[in-house]
């Protein structure tokens, strides 16, 4: 088989790494890829949002299956275009990708099908949003309605902070068109977790549990980011809780979308808040989480390719996945200043040394080649993933590898996985 992976971040590096291990696969292409991916696949210089270019390439190379990593091409309708051309592709179509592309769409879906989530209102008028905040009080959550690369959420502890977030999103347009309307939600206390399930639009196949770390700094302080690290398994998601998540959230979501005429195919990401043993939905995403994909795919024992194909074909009959007994921890190494502005083009040292370690995989997220050296080009630069017999062992392994890698102003959290140890 020839497989094309669309994207060039840490999630796509992990997908390429896992897909390339399948005995079914002869060649893996990645568009646009990155220096880490280039060691495993043939990188094609086509941006992830150039759907015409990707479609032309897939036709010319007779690609057997295309796997879409990031959300932007999904919300642009890449799946519809490929399917119209008779090509197999893994991911939700444009209508179904609204579950991530529009927060109001996903909140309305949850309200309609009694899926547990925070109370909310959607506003396209700034003054009406401010009036609502004044009445509701704080803490309260303000979200840009559209795609904002995981950064369009402000958990405001005061009314003033919430109003400032509304003005920043709606008036200053810090997230562009994504902020033309906002969703304002009740604040949910508890512990966050990420839950993933493959689906063909009818059948579902849950993955192992995982937990992301969104805030930029230790102890969950600072602004939200795309994710500063993740680990799997996550002890907060017990077997009992897994059953409840599947029955009260995943199944009603997939069933509801099918009933509404936009069946969801691909991988569904459910961001959860867990309090008193009960799960509620924080958000849905239409693709693998990043960085959760890294520890999950490293732990996955099953061949992922038959699963991706079965979803794309509407033939998902696999009842469960096999997992390695080991735990996995991914520490994101970011550019200093992220998620705000940061300096690019800084040379990275220690990659070979860290990559040579046993039970360590260094996934590239925001890197490129410059004058023969790997340099940082993104906010999140590397996802250093360690395996261990326990979460504690995996944490130690990941941070041993992190200590070998450096560049000026590098930033990373030092407490990834600590919540698991506290349990």
pLDDT digit string, tens, across residues 92-138: 999 999 999 988 899 999 999 999 999 999 999 999 999 999 999 99
The predicted pLDDT at position 61 comes to 98
**Is the pLDDT assigned to residue 224 strictly greater than 90?**
no
DSSP symbols for 325-337:
SSEEEEEEEE-TT
The predicted pLDDT at position 359 comes to 97
Q: What is the mean pLDDT of residues 276-295?
A: 95
pLDDT digit string, tens, across residues 56-105: 999 999 999 999 999 999 999 999 999 999 999 999 999 999 999 988 89
For residue 67, which of 17, 1, 2, 4 has the smallest C-alpha distance?
4
pLDDT digit string, tens, across residues 291-318: 999 999 999 999 999 999 999 999 999 9
CA 272 to chain centroid, in Å, comes to: 13
**Is the pLDDT assigned to residue 289 strictly greater than 80?**
yes
Confidence of residue 400 (pLDDT cuts 50, 70, 90): very high
**Is the pLDDT assigned to residue 150 strictly greater than 70?**
no
Higher pLDDT, 215 or 178: 215
Q: Which two tokens stand for residue 35?
A: 């220096």
Give the phi and the psi of residue 69 in degrees, each rounded to 5.
-85, -60
pLDDT more than 70, % of the chain: 100
**Is the pLDDT assigned to residue 274 strictly greater than 90?**
yes
**Is the pLDDT assigned to residue 423 strictly greater than 80?**
no
Q: What is the mean pLDDT of residues 33-40?
A: 98
**Is the pLDDT assigned to residue 194 strictly greater than 70?**
yes
Tell me whether residue 361 is exposed, middle or buried, using C-beta atoms within 10 angstroms of its C-beta: 0 to 12, 13 to 18, 19 or more: buried
Confidence of residue 147 (pLDDT cuts 50, 70, 90): confident
pLDDT digit string, tens, across residues 244-254: 999 999 999 99
pLDDT more than 90, % of the chain: 91
**Is the pLDDT assigned to residue 179 strictly greater than 90?**
no
| d(C-alpha 299, C-alpha 221), whole Å | 28
**Is the pLDDT assigned to residue 349 strictly greater than 70?**
yes
Confidence of residue 145 (pLDDT cuts 50, 70, 90): confident
pLDDT digit string, tens, across residues 158-174: 999 999 999 999 999 98
Q: Which residue has the tokens 């099908």?
A: 113
**Is the pLDDT assigned to residue 207 strictly greater than 90?**
yes
Confidence of residue 390 (pLDDT cuts 50, 70, 90): very high
Q: What is the mean pLDDT of residues 24-31?
A: 98
The predicted pLDDT at position 422 comes to 82
For residue 163, which of 180, 189, 138, 145 has the smallest C-alpha distance?
138
Mean pLDDT, all residues of the chain: 95
DSSP symbols for 85-144:
TT--EES--TTTTHHHH-HHHHHHHHHHTT--B--EEEESSHHHHHHHHHHH-SSEEEEE
Per-residue CA distances from 322 to 301, 328, 344 (Å): 5, 15, 40
């Amino acid at each position: 088989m020839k497989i094309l992976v669309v994207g060039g971040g840490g999630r796509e590096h992990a997908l390429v790494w896992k897909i390339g291990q399948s005995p079914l696969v002869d060649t893996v292409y990645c568009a646009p890829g990155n220096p880490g991916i280039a060691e495993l696949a043939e990188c094609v210089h086509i941006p992830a949002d150039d759907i015409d270019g990707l479609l032309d390439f897939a036709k010319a190379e007779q690609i057997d299956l295309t796997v879409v990593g990031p959300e932007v091409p999904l919300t642009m309708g890449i799946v519809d275009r490929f399917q119209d051309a008779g090509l197999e592709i893994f991911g939700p179509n444009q209508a179904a990708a609204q579950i991530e592309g529009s927060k109001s769409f996903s909140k309305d879906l949850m309200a309609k099908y009694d899926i547990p989530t925070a109370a909310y209102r959607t506003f396209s008028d700034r003054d009406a949003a401010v009036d609502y905040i004044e009445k509701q009080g704080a803490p309260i959550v303000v979200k840009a309605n559209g795609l904002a690369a995981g950064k369009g959420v402000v958990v405001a502890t005061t009314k003033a902070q919430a109003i400032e977030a509304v003005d920043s999103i709606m008036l200053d347009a810090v997230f562009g068109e994504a902020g033309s309307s906002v969703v304002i939600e009740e604040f949910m206390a508890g512990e966050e977790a990420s839950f993933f399930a493959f689906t063909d639009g009818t059948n579902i196949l849950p993955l192992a549990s995982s937990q992301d770390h969104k805030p930029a700094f230790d102890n969950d302080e600072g602004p939200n980011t795309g994710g500063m690290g993740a680990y799997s398994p996550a002890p907060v998601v017990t077997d009992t809780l897994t059953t409840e998540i599947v029955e009260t959230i995943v199944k009603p979501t997939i069933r509801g979308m099918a009933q509404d005429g936009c069946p969801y195919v691909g991988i569904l990401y459910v961001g959860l808040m867990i309090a008193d043993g009960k799960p509620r939905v924080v958000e849905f995403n239409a693709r693998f989480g990043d960085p959760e994909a890294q520890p999950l795919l490293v732990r996955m024992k099953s061949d992922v390719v038959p699963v991706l194909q079965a979803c794309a074909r509407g033939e998902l009959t696999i009842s469960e996945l096999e997992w390695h007994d080991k735990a996995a921890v991914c520490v994101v190494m970011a550019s200093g200043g992220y998620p705000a502005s940061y300096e690019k083009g800084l040379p990275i040292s220690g990659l070979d040394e860290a990559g040579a370690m046993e039970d360590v995989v260094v996934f590239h997220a925001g890197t490129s080649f410059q004058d023969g050296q790997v340099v940082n080009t993104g906010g999140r630069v590397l996802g250093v993933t360690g395996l261990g017999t326990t979460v504690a062992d995996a944490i130690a392994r990941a941070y041993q590898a992190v200590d070998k890698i450096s560049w000026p102003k590098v930033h990373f959290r030092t407490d990834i996985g600590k919540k698991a140890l506290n349990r």
